[in-house]
Structure 1
Amino acid sequence: MDVDTPGPGPSSSKHLPRSTSVPFQPPGDLTVGYVYSSEMTSHFNPAGHQEAPERITRIWQAIVNAKLNLKMQWLPIRPVTKAEALLVHSQTTWDLIETFQYMTEQQVVDSEAYYEQLSLYVMPGTTRAARLSCGGVIEACLAVARGRLRKVFAICRPPGHHAEPDQSMGFCFFNNVAVAARVVQQMTPIKRILILDWSPYVGNGTQRAFNDDPSVLYISLHRYDGGSFYPCGEFGGMASCGEGSGLGFSVNIPWPEKGMGDPDYIHAFQRVVMPIAMEFAPELVIISAGFDAALGDELGECKVSPAGYAHMTHMLSGLAGGRLVVALEGGYNLDATMHSALAVTKVILGEAPEQLPPMHASEVATETVYLVAKEQSKYWKSIDTKSCEPREDVEPLTFSIPEILQAHRAHYLHTNYRMMQVPLLGGLLQDSFTGNVLCTQDLFENKTLVVLAHEFGNLRMELESAMTCDLSLERSYLIDFTKELMRWITGEGYALIDVNLYPKPFSSTSTNRKNAGRYDEAAALLLYLWDNFIQLSGAQRIVFIGHGPGCQPLMDLIDARFNSVTKSVKGIVQVVGYSKVPVTPKKSDELRTWYAKNSCVLLPANHHMFRPDAIQNNKKHGILCPIEELQPVRIVMQGLPAIQEFMKDQLAKH
C-alpha cells in the first residue's frame, strides 16, 4: 500500500514513510544490480513515437544475450509513492499524472495537441509506467546508498531529467533521478550526491530541482546552440551555475553545435568534470544516462561511441568509493542506445573499457571547455584554466609530444650513429613525415641494409591523479624499444634506414585521420623510400623489420613491388603484440611461398596464434618465435637474440 502523505523537506530529520518495496539480501558474490520490468512498456503511442517501449526491451535483451544478467542482482521494482514524488514535484503535477490512468480514448485524442506542445504523449498506461520508472530509480539508489550493492543500472522509462517541479515535459513525467536523490538524503546517511547528465539535452528539470542546493552537484554536457537547442533558453548556458547557496553547484558544458564526439567529451571530463567532482567528493554518483548523444541518433546529432560512454563511466566509477547508479534517460536510435548501454553495463561489472584510438578534441570543444573552466574557476579551486587554454591560441609557442619525440630521436640517432635525414619530396609525405626517416651515411655504399619500420617509442606517463589525468612529469619517461636493436645493427656494420611511421598529428593532412588513413600514408611512405632510395642504394641483401603498426605497411610494400623485392630482400621480421595478427602477402601463391621461406615472427608466448585452432595460419609464416614476455613493449628486448640469429642465417644463405 502506497503512502500518500507528503514527506518532510530534505533538511528535516524525520524519516520518510516507506513504501512496500520488497526487502532482499543479494548473494555475497554479486555487487552489481539492475532494475527492469516489462510493465514500463505500458506507456506507448499507438501511432509510433521515438520514446518507445523498445528502448528498454532492446537493452534488456542485449544484456541477456551477453549473459551479463547472470552476474547481476535483480532489484524488485515498485511505483514511486506520493510522499516521495512530492519531495521534488508539486501536488498539481502528481494529481495530473494520476489522472492519466482514467482517461478515455476520446480524452486522449482531445488532449493530444496540448501535450504535443510539451513534447509529451499520454494514455492510461502512462501513470503506471511513470510511477514504476521513478520508483525503480529510487530502489536502485537506495540499494547502493545502503551498501547492499556497489553499482546498479536502472533500465527505466519514461525518462525524467526534463520534468520540472511544476511541469512534466520533454518525454518526461517524474524527474526520476531528482526524486531518488531526495529520497536517499531522507532515508540514508548519504547527503552529498553528484548527478552527471551526458544527454545532449540539458536536464533542465534536474538542475531546477537543486538550483539552490549545495548538497547536490549537477554537471551536464549537452548541446546548447546559443540557447536554441531543446529545451531552449539561457538555462543550461555556461553562466547558469545555480543560485543562492547553490551557486557554483550547477556546471553546464554547453556545446555550441552538433557533431561532438568522444574526443570532445573525454577532454571535458579530464579538464572540468573530474576535477570538480573530486573536489566536491560525492558520497553517491548518479548518471543521468541519456544515450541520445550516441553516433547515429538523429535527434541528438552527436557522435559519442559505446567506448566513449564506457570511458566516462569508468572515470565516474572511481568516485564515491565506487557507489554508482546508472539511470536511463533518453536515447532514440535503438541500435546505438543498445550498444552504448551494453558497453556501460560491462564497465560497471568491472570490465575495462574498449581502447579508444588516438584523438584530439575539436577546436570548438577546446574553446567551450576553456570558457567553462574560466566560469567555474570562480567556484572550484581544482580548475586549472591555463591547462584548458585552446592550443590554437598559443600555437606559435607550442610543440606536440610527437614533435618533441621526433626531435629527440633525430638528435639521438645523429649523435650516436651519425645518421642523417632522408629528404622527402611531395606535399603529403613532406607535410606528414619530414624528419621521420633517417639513414646511416653508408646507405649507398653498403651491400647489406636493414629497414626498421615502427612508430615512436612508448610513453610511460605517471599521473598525479588518475581521475583528472594530470601528469607527473618527473616520474614520466620514454621507452625506446629499438635502442639495443640499432646498436647491434650498426655494430655489425650494416646500413640502416630508420622509419618512424607516426605522422605529424597537427599537419593539415593528418588532423582527425582514421587508423586506416594512417596505414595508407605509411604504405605510401615506404613505397616512396623503396622507389627513390632503397632500390638505388645498391644494397644486395636487405632485411625488413616491422614493429607493431609498422608490419602492415611493410607487407603492403612487398605486395606492391614483389618482383623487385624478392630479388634483394633476404628476410622479413615482424614483431607483433597481443592485439595484432601477423600479416602475409596477398598477391600470389609464389609470393606467399617466398615469404614463408624468408620470414620470422616474434609473438608473446600466449598469443592466440599458438592455439591449436591457429595451426593452419601458422604455416603461412616461416619461423614463429614465442617470447616469454607479458609486456608487448619488451618483446623486442627479449627477442633480440632470435632476431640476430635469424638475420645471420638469412644473410649467410646469400
Structure 2
Amino acid sequence: MASGSALIFDEEMSRYKLLWTDPVCEIEVPERFTVSYEALKTHGVAERCKQVHTGFRFGFKIFCVYFSEEYLEAVKQTPKMSVEELMAFSKQYNDVYFHQNIYHCATLAVGATLQLVDSVMKREVRNCMALVRPSGHHSQRSAANSFCVFNNVAIAALYAKKTYNLNRVLIVGWDVHHGQGVQYCFEEDPSVLYFSWHRYEHQTFWPNLPESDYSSVGKGKGSGFNMNLPWNKVGMTNSDDLAAFFHVLLPAAYEFDPELVLVSAGFDSAIGDPEGEMCALPEIFAHLTQLLMPLAAGKMCVVLEFWKADGNLWNVERPAF
C-alpha cells in the first residue's frame, strides 16, 4: 500500500510577469505562487512531503489530445516576441497576458501535473499536490483564458485515462470561478465526472456563462456527468462547503466510484480573497481533502489553480460562526 504525500514546486514557474499596464491582469503576480510554497514551509507541511523535482518529458502529442494544433503553434512563438507583439497576441484572448517565459512555465506546469499523476498511479505515493503556475482550468481547446494557458487538470485526466486505461476519473473544482475549460472538455464524456462549485449570482459573476448554472449536466453520453453548484450569493461558510460535499458531491462520487481523483484547487473561495468574498476558513480545505481521500483508494492529485490573497490567508481574522 502506498503511503505519504508528494509535493512538486519549481521556482522557475515564478519567472514571468506582466510587462505592461493592465488593471485586469495586474493581480496575476509571481508572489501569489511563491508565498504559497513559503506558507507550506512555514507551517511544516513541505518537510513532511516527498519533494518531487520537475523533469517530466512529454511529446507534442500529449497537448494535441486537448488543444488545437493552431493554438499550440501560436503559443510556441511567444518566446520570440517583443513586448508589443506579446501585447497584441494577448488581446486575442480574455483576461490573460503573455511573457517570453510563459510558454516554458506552462509546459513545466503540465509536466509537473503529469509527473504526479504517474507517482500516484504507480503507487510511489498515496496522493500529491502540484504547486504550478500558470493555472489552467479556464483555458480551452483554442484559447487561453483568465491567466490560464494550458489546462493542467484536463490534460492530466486525458493522460491518466490513456496511459493507465482508466474508465472513471473524478475532477473536483473548488475554485470560486467556474472551470468552464474543464467542463467543455468532458461534457460529452461519461468517463469523467466533473463537479464545480463557483460564485455565480445568477450569471452576473465572471465568467458570466449560462452553462455555469446547475442545469448544465453534460451532453449526449456525458449527460449526468457534469455537476455545477452555482453560489448565488457571497459569504458562503464552512458549513455551506460541507453541505455541498455531503449532499451533492459525495453521493454521486461514491456511486461513480472513480479510479483517480483530480482537484482543481483554487483557494479564492476562502476568506481573505478580495474577489471571492467568501467566508470559509482555510482549514476547511483539509476537511474536504479528507472527505475525498477514501475515493479511488486514496489516489488523488491536487493541482493549484488561482487565488488573489496577498499571502496573509492563514492570518486573516476569523469570523464568529
TM-score (norm 2): 0.92
Q: CA deviation at 1:109?
A: 3.9
- State whether structure 2 residue 80 is matched by structure 1 residue 102: yes
Contact 1:224–1:256 under 8 Å retained in 2: yes
Greater Rg over alpha carbons, structure: 1
Structure 1 residues 29 and 315: alpha-carbon distance in aligned structure 2, compared to 1, 3 A threshold: closer
Contact 2:261–2:300 under 8 Å retained in 1: yes
- State whether structure 2 residue 4 is matched by structure 1 residue 42: no
* Corresponding residue for residue 514 of structure 1: 320
* Corresponding residue for residue 248 of structure 1: 224
Structure 1 residues 339 and 171: alpha-carbon distance in aligned structure 2, compared to 1, 3 A threshold: farther
5 Å matches for 1:233-312? 233-312=209-288
Higher relative contact order (CA 8 A, sep 6+): 2
Deviation sequence 1:365-384 (CA, Å, 0-9, x none): xxxxxxxxxxxxxxxxxxxx
Contact 1:288–1:327 under 8 Å retained in 2: yes
Q: CA deviation at 1:43?
A: 2.3
Q: CA deviation at 1:189?
A: 3.6
Structure 1 residues 217 and 196: alpha-carbon distance in aligned structure 2, compared to 1, 3 A threshold: same
* Corresponding residue for residue 32 of structure 2: 55
Contact 1:295–1:336 under 8 Å retained in 2: no
Q: CA deviation at 1:160?
A: 0.3
* Corresponding residue for residue 77 of structure 1: 54
- Distance in 2, matches of 1:96 and 1:186, equals 26
Structure 1 residues 232 and 54: alpha-carbon distance in aligned structure 2, compared to 1, 3 A threshold: same
* Corresponding residue for residue 187 of structure 2: 211
Contact 1:77–1:136 under 8 Å retained in 2: yes
- Distance in 2, matches of 1:307 and 1:338, equals 9
Deviation sequence 1:450-471 (CA, Å, 0-9, x none): xxxxxxxxxxxxxxxxxxxxxx
Q: CA deviation at 1:111?
A: 4.1
Contact 2:2–2:124 under 8 Å retained in 1: no
- Distance in 2, matches of 1:339 and 1:315, equals 25
* Corresponding residue for residue 136 of structure 1: 112
Contact 1:59–1:337 under 8 Å retained in 2: no
SS in 2 for 1:239: coil
- Distance in 1, matches of 2:218 and 2:306, equals 24
SS in 2 for 1:124: coil
Task: Give the letter for the 2:85 counterpart.
Answer: Q
- Distance in 2, matches of 1:193 and 1:56, equals 27
Contact 1:43–1:123 under 8 Å retained in 2: yes
Q: CA deviation at 1:251?
A: 0.3
Deviation sequence 1:291-335 (CA, Å, 0-9, x none): 011111112121221122121111111211111111000111132
5 Å matches for 1:526-541? none
SS in 2 for 1:335: coil
- Distance in 1, matches of 2:297 and 2:3, equals 17
Contact 1:291–1:337 under 8 Å retained in 2: no
Structure 1 residues 289 and 337: alpha-carbon distance in aligned structure 2, compared to 1, 3 A threshold: farther
- State whether structure 2 residue 10 is matched by structure 1 residue 33: no
- Distance in 1, matches of 2:244 and 2:167, equals 26
5 Å matches for 1:183-222? 183-222=159-198
Deviation sequence 1:406-457 (CA, Å, 0-9, x none): xxxxxxxxxxxxxxxxxxxxxxxxxxxxxxxxxxxxxxxxxxxxxxxxxxxx
Q: CA deviation at 1:87?
A: 1.1
Contact 1:40–1:156 under 8 Å retained in 2: yes
* Corresponding residue for residue 166 of structure 1: 142
Task: Give the letter for the 2:83 counterpart.
Answer: E
5 Å matches for 1:456-605? 514=320
- State whether structure 2 residue 291 is matched by structure 1 residue 318: no
Deviation sequence 1:222-268 (CA, Å, 0-9, x none): 11111221111211110100001000000000111222221111111
Deviation sequence 1:511-543 (CA, Å, 0-9, x none): xx937xxxxxxxxxxxxxxxxxxxxxxxxxxxx
- Distance in 1, matches of 2:3 and 2:122, equals 15
Contact 1:58–1:338 under 8 Å retained in 2: no
Q: CA deviation at 1:30?
A: 5.8
Structure 1 residues 269 and 167: alpha-carbon distance in aligned structure 2, compared to 1, 3 A threshold: same
SS in 2 for 1:327: strand
Task: Give the letter for the 1:514 counterpart.
Answer: A
- State whether structure 2 residue 153 is matched by structure 1 residue 180: no
- Distance in 2, matches of 1:208 and 1:160, equals 13
Deviation sequence 1:355-401 (CA, Å, 0-9, x none): xx9xxxxxxxxxxxxxxxxxxxxxxxxxxxxxxxxxxxxxxxxxxxx
SS in 1 for 2:138: coil
RMSD of aligned Cα (Å): 2.2
Q: Percent identity?
A: 30
- Distance in 2, matches of 1:336 and 1:194, equals 31
* Corresponding residue for residue 65 of structure 2: 87
SS in 1 for 2:194: strand
Structure 1 residues 80 and 201: alpha-carbon distance in aligned structure 2, compared to 1, 3 A threshold: farther
* Corresponding residue for residue 412 of structure 1: none
Task: Give the letter for the 1:226 counterpart.
Answer: H
- State whether structure 2 residue 122 is matched by structure 1 residue 149: no
TM-score (norm 1): 0.46
- Distance in 2, matches of 1:189 and 1:147, equals 16
Contact 1:42–1:128 under 8 Å retained in 2: no
- Distance in 1, matches of 2:2 and 2:122, equals 17
Q: CA deviation at 1:54?
A: 1.3
- Distance in 1, matches of 2:58 and 2:103, equals 11
- Distance in 2, matches of 1:57 and 1:201, equals 22
Pick the structure with more helix per residue: 1
- Distance in 1, matches of 2:89 and 2:170, equals 37
What 5-or-longer segments of structure 1 have no aligned partner?
Answer: 1-27, 341-356, 358-512, 516-654
Q: CA deviation at 1:149?
A: 1.1
SS in 1 for 2:211: coil
- Distance in 2, matches of 1:326 and 1:337, equals 19
Task: Give the letter for the 2:84 counterpart.
Answer: Q
Equivalences, count: 315
Task: Give the letter for the 1:96 counterpart.
Answer: A
